[in-house]
Structure 1
Amino acid sequence: MSHVATVFAQSFFHGTRADLRPGDLIAVGYPSNFTEAEPLSWVYFTATLDAAIWGAELAAGDGRERIYVVEPTGPIVDDPNLTDKKFPGNPTRSFRSRAPLRVLAEVVGWHGHAPDAVKNMKEGVARAMVEGRGLID
């Protein structure tokens, strides 16, 4: 297998409203995109564009929804907030790391979910927060 094929064998994405540039680091110690909880001790990312789109669409704030191709700089583990708690296995291919993610590029030209689907998902997230089920580990 060529080196190029190895480099591009797996892409990871991060959906947010943050305005970042290639080379920037997404690091622990910042509040979640979704809650007003304490700063997170993990950074979250996915290997599916669909999950990253949800991340961008559900992110708090007024900034433009953005999706970045990211590179983990350290060890990664399955995201326990989704893996096995909500979905058996890891079908959303969601991960987390204590090490920063390096922004490689911004994904452009992606298409979001239907407005009704986003509205329903946001209402579900809000309900989970009120009921205490929305905690991010």
Structure 2
Amino acid sequence: MTSPSPRSSSPPPTGPDAGATFYHGTRADLAVGDLLAPGWTSNFADGAPLSWIYFAATLEAAIWGCELAAGEGRERIYIVEPTGDWFDDPNLTDQRFPGNPTRSYRSRAPLRIIGEVESWTPHPPEVLQAMKDSLATLKAEGKDVIID
């Protein structure tokens, strides 16, 4: 019989909605145990790699994330847990949805995949197209800035 490994003395990560179920929408094909890390470009604006990884405590926000994600892969929603502290996403909470009703967050630490949502309802095609058109308008007006 082996001894249990010693626990880290550092406090667990903290942030808004601690204890909630968190989601990340993407087209990346990943597995339970994989890490989603900062360093990728945004799905919503062209530019340099972001220094944050984004996630939400609402399935609705994750559905938008996977539906708008760049790439050709299947839309996926992963259940994730932050490995470091997390904060309100100022791109939404300060800009579009004060008070953070979307429960959208970001972290500089990776997110560990702990599961996948196998069944969810996509937005109707006309609603998805309206969102894509809105994002295209923001881009055309130079208002597609990501606060990194």
* TM-score, normalized by the shorter chain, greater than 0.5: yes
Report 1:84-99 matches (<5 A).
Answer: 84-99=94-109
Partners of 1:34 and 1:61 in 2: CA distance:
12
Measured after TM superposition, the shift of residue 9 of structure 1 is: 4.3
Q: Is residue 2:67 matched to residue 1:37?
A: no
Query: Is the contact made by 1:16 and 1:33 (CA closer than 8 Å) also made in structure 2?
Result: no
Partners of 1:93 and 1:47 in 2: CA distance:
5
Partners of 2:113 and 2:140 in 1: CA distance:
33
Q: Which runs of 5+ in 1 are unaligned?
A: 1-7
Query: Is the contact made by 2:44 and 2:144 (CA closer than 8 Å) also made in structure 1?
Result: no
Find runs of 4+ consecutive structure 1 residues off by over 3 angstroms.
none
1:5 is aligned to none
1:13 is aligned to 23
Measured after TM superposition, the shift of residue 61 of structure 1 is: 1.2
Measured after TM superposition, the shift of residue 31 of structure 1 is: 1.4
With over 3 angstroms needed to count, the CA separation of the structure-2 counterparts of 1:9 and 1:73, relative to structure 1, is: closer
Tell me the percent identity. 61
| 2:137 match: secondary structure | helix
TM-score normalized by structure 2? 0.84
Partners of 1:85 and 1:48 in 2: CA distance:
18
1:129 is aligned to 139
